[in-house]
Each structure stands twice: as structure tokens, then as C-alpha cells.
Structure 1
Amino acid sequence: MTRQAYSFVRTFAPEPARELCVDRHYLLCASAGALRLEARGRAWLLPPARAALISAGEPIQVSLPQPVTTASVLFEPGFTEPAPAPLTVFDLSPLARALLAECGSFGDSTEPLPRYGEKLFAALAAVAWRLAETPSPVVVPAGRSPELRRALRLTEDRLGEQVRFEDIAAEIGLAPRSLARRFEDETGLTWRAVLRRMRIMRAIEELAAGDTPVTKIAFAVGYTSLSAFNAAFRELTGKSPTQYRESFR
């Protein structure tokens, strides 16, 4: 019998998307690098400043675009209250990160948790469940129809260019008006709003990967103005790119 709660710390090489479904509530996050997570028609990026709380039995897809060190925790459903939602992605507070780090020494084992460990994991669950009540807005749709999924993939592949909606529509064989309706019906967002979220998500990935200057990242994700990039980043995350990078460390 394994512990009611335990930490999972491991380093992985980059790898493509794979299905994952566990029988415990899963607090999924990285201490270095970034994870990509897709579920329920949406996609997120998880650098060290963010986490996903996934209910037991909820299927997800995880990919690793860069080397990643996980710092995650699995909770037996009876150890905690039910998760507030099947899947929630949120920003980690300093307290949550400190508790995650302290829980890191309690891995999977047949030995029961000591009383100190039980209290640590209980405190982490209380903090994480509270944070999960405020989901992060940095999410992009994954699309339902093949046409929209292809449009999203083409858009993401061209973030560093001055990508045009009309070109994307022509390439997948739809009139711009028809594709615009697909975006509205399947995502509730315009293509331009999705493009902005994709650019910010890619920027977060670059911020988590190393020390590339913010100006270089802004141009690499398709912005021609640093001030426009900073404004878009702050509007979506509530922080400047520099502040967001500092929150990883």
C-alpha cells in the first residue's frame, strides 16, 4: 500500500504528447522547464510559477517541449476534499511553492507518512485547493473540428511571422468568414484573441527556458514593439515579463 500523499520529483527529456490518467488527485507542476497540458478542448503551459490540479480519473495529454524537472504531488482522494473542478490551472503562491519544496522529501513508499509529513501535505492541499478557485487566464483553445485544429496548428507554427488570418483560411480551404465563425462557435474567441494568447504562452515558455532577453523574446513571438508586447503580457498575466520570470526562481 502506498502513502496517502506523496511527492513525485523527476527530470525528463523533451517528448511528444502522451495520454495520462491517474487514480489520485494530481497537483502537476515543474520546478524547472515547462510542461504543455491539453484537456477538454483547451491547452495550457506550466512553467514553475503555475500548476494544474487534476481530479482523480481525469484524462489529460502532456507534452514536454524542453527538458523538465517535475515537482508534483499525488493525493489519495480520501486524504483531501474533492477537487473544486475536474481540471484547474492556476498561479502558485510563494506559500504553495514553499510547501511543494518541503513535501519533496516524501516520495512514494510503503511506509506511512510521519505526522509532520501528513500535516505538510494537508497544508499544501488546503492552499492548492484555495488557489484552484481562481484559474489562470493564460489558456488557448485546442479546437474540436479538424479544420479549426489545423488552423490553430498553422497559427502556432507561424507566431514569429506577421501571420495573416486570410492566409490561414485559404490554406485550410475555408472562406475567412466561415473560419471566423468556427473560432466563435468552438472557442468563444476571435482568431486575433487566440493569436495573442498563443504568443504570450510561447513567450512564457521562452522565459522559463533560460535567460534570453525580453526584447528578443518579444520579437521572436511576433511583436514588433516591446511596449505592445509588455502591455499584452501584463494584461493577460497581471505581471510584466521580467516579473513573471522572477516568479519562477
Structure 2
Amino acid sequence: MTKPLVDVDVMPALAFCLADELAPFSSRWHAHRKHQLLYSARGAMHLEVEQAQWLLPPQRAAWLRAGTLHRVRASQPVSLCTVYLEPKLVRAPPEGECRVFIIEPLAREMLLYSTRWGPERPPKEPVADSFFGTLAHLLPEWAMTAQDWRLPRARTPELRKAMAFTLEHLGESLLLEDVARAAGLSVRTLSRRFEEEAATTWRRFLHDARMLRAMELLAEEGARVTQTAYEVGFESLAAFTHAFHAFCGERPRDFRQRVARGAEPQVQGAAATRRRRAG
């Protein structure tokens, strides 16, 4: 997907859904004049905005505020289901550029149902207008459950190199010294760059990146928990299971099975876990 499938910004309807089956792709940086609810019913997508990046496996969606510069990529086929909403339809736009949240059963069904009204639908269609109006009213409530499953983005070329090197070697026994060498910085300078630019440590960046990559791998068809653990740099299945549960509130095996059958996530357990980690 090197260019938009359709120019969604010129469509006259106030709200519609863009649905498609896509092969692995990488979009350019772009923005829309409408709010965007980005969702994949099958396959994981990687979303980037100016200050952060997220993984969007099935059961998670992103609300992008109108005008937000972003890009999306996927390393596996995805079933795209994106709703576009004219800003005036939404009574309470999201704070910041993007909100990523767990899709509950009602939200999932509404998103899937919205595919009947594509970009070229008539501008005035009472049933569609009523449906998207209801979705627009519910959206702020859904976004209140936003989860902080994201990675920061770099502002300088050196930190960008360090992050890219880290992401490319998640399955290896990485040392900060190796990353600093790849970025052309001293260990002390690199540590300071992570703290000042990304408000985190390299160790936390590595851990979260491994967890997000694990979620992406587990969302693939035929995924195996043990193989996933090794692919993201864990030598012990027990250590991986503990880390994964602490990160997203459920065991990797439960996550894999839930995504495979399209079941709803354990929202309360995950939220409670995240609160404990934040505290």
C-alpha cells in the first residue's frame, strides 16, 4: 500500500468505512481531514505518529484525530476495517493525536457491520447516518480504556539508529554497548538520549519492544508460544510467560487462543495489571 486505495478526503459522505484485504504493505506519511478509527479484523498493523508507535493486533484499534500525521505498515496480510468520521460528528475528540484501546465485543460488531457502507455511499442515507452517529457518540467512551502499549519515537538521527538497531535484533542477547556502537554514541550519551528524548530507558524500550513483537507473532496463524519466546530474546518459557502476563494482563497462550477465535479480551485484568506497573 504505497498509495491510498481511494482518496477518502474527497468523499462527500460524513462517515463511511473503508474495508479491504491487504497483502503486507507500508504506507507513506499522511493525514486525513476526518477522524479515523483504524482496525484490523485479521493480522497485526504497526502504527506510527510523530511522537509514538503502536502495534495493532486484532482486538485493538486506534482513534486518530483529524489532521494527525501518521503511517501504517503490516508484515502479514490484514483485513482492514477503517471508519472515517467528519469531526463535527464527534462530541468529544480524543486528547492528543492518537488513542489506542481494546476492542470490546460491541465495538467489534459495529465496526464489522459498518463495512456495508463504503466510501462511495450516498451522502444522505438515513440508516447509515443514524448508525455512524451512534458510533461517533460511543467512540469517546471506548477510547477512555486506552492502553499505553506503545513505543516512543526518536527526535535525533542517533537515537533513531539506536532504536532501529534494537528493533532489528530483538531475538539476540543485546547489550547497551552494542547499541551505542551502532548509533555512534557513548553508552552514557545514549542512555541520556533515551531519557531526554523518549522519557524512558533503553532497557525498558527493549523490554516493551519485545512484548509488542511477541503480541504480533502470537497473532499470526499457527503461532507457537515457545517459538515466539525464543524469537523475542527469551531463553526461558517461564520468564517469557511472566513478562508477557505482566505487560498485557494475560498469559501468551491465552492471548494466542483468544486472538485465533476472535474472543473478547480480559479488559479488567489487563487494566489492573497496567495500573500496578504504572504504580
Would the alpha carbon gap of residues 170 and 112 (structure 1) be closer, same or farther in structure 2, given more than 3 Å must change? closer
Aligned-pair identity (%): 37
Check if 1:126 corresponds to 2:137: yes
Q: Which runs of 4+ in 1 moved over 6 A?
A: none
Unmatched runs of 5 consecutive residues or more in structure 1: none
Q: 1:106 aligns with which of 92, 112, 117?
A: 117
Alignment check: 8 A CA contact 1:137 1:237 kept: no
Question: Are the aligned partners of 1:8 and 1:72 in contact in 2 as well (CA < 8 Å)?
Answer: yes
Q: Which of 28, 38, 44 lines up with 2:38 in the alignment?
A: 28
1:121 and 1:164 map into 2 onto residues whose CA distance is: 50
Q: Which amino acid aligns with 1:111?
A: P
- Say what the alpha-carbon RMSD is for the aligned residues: 1.7
Amino acid at match of 1:238: G
Residues 11/157 of structure 1: CA separation in 2 closer, same or farther (3 Å cut): same
CA distance in 2: counterparts of 1:130 and 1:72, whole angstroms: 18
Aligned mates of 1:133, 1:241 — CA distance in 2: 25
Question: How far is 1:131 from its partner?
Answer: 2.1
Which residue does the alignment assign to 2:25? 15
Q: Aligned pair 1:153/2:155, yes or no?
A: no
2-side partners of 1:47 and 1:113: how far apart? 33
2:70 aligned residue (37, 60, 64): 60
The number of equivalent residue pairs is 249
* CA drift at 1:110: 4.5
Query: Could you list the per-position Cα deviations for residues 15-56 of structure 1 after superposition, in whole angstroms to 9, with x for gaps in the alignment?
Result: 234112111110011111111111122111111111110111
Deviation at 1:79, TM superposition (A): 1.9
Correspondence for 1:42: 52
Does structure 1 retain, via aligned residues, the 8 Å contact 2:223–2:256? no
Q: Report if aligned partners of 1:42, 1:139 keep a CA contact under 8 Å in 2.
A: yes
Matched with 2:102 is 91
Output the TM-score relative to the length of structure 1: 0.93
Q: Work out the CA distance in 1 between the residues paired with 2:253 and 2:126.
A: 39
Q: Determine helix, strand or coil for the equivalent of 1:210.
A: coil
User: Normalised by the size of structure 2, how large is the TM-score?
Assistant: 0.84
Task: Give the whole-Å Cα distance in 1 for the aligned partners of 2:232 and 2:89.
Answer: 43
Higher relative contact order (CA closer than 8 Å, sequence separation 6+):
1
1:139 to 139, 146, 150: 150
Distance 2:106 2:114 in 1: 12
Aligned residue in 1 for 2:86:
76
Instruction: Indicate if the aligned counterparts of 2:89 and 2:136 stay in contact, CA closer than 8 A.
Output: no
Matched, 1:191 2:202: yes
Match of 2:268 in 1: none
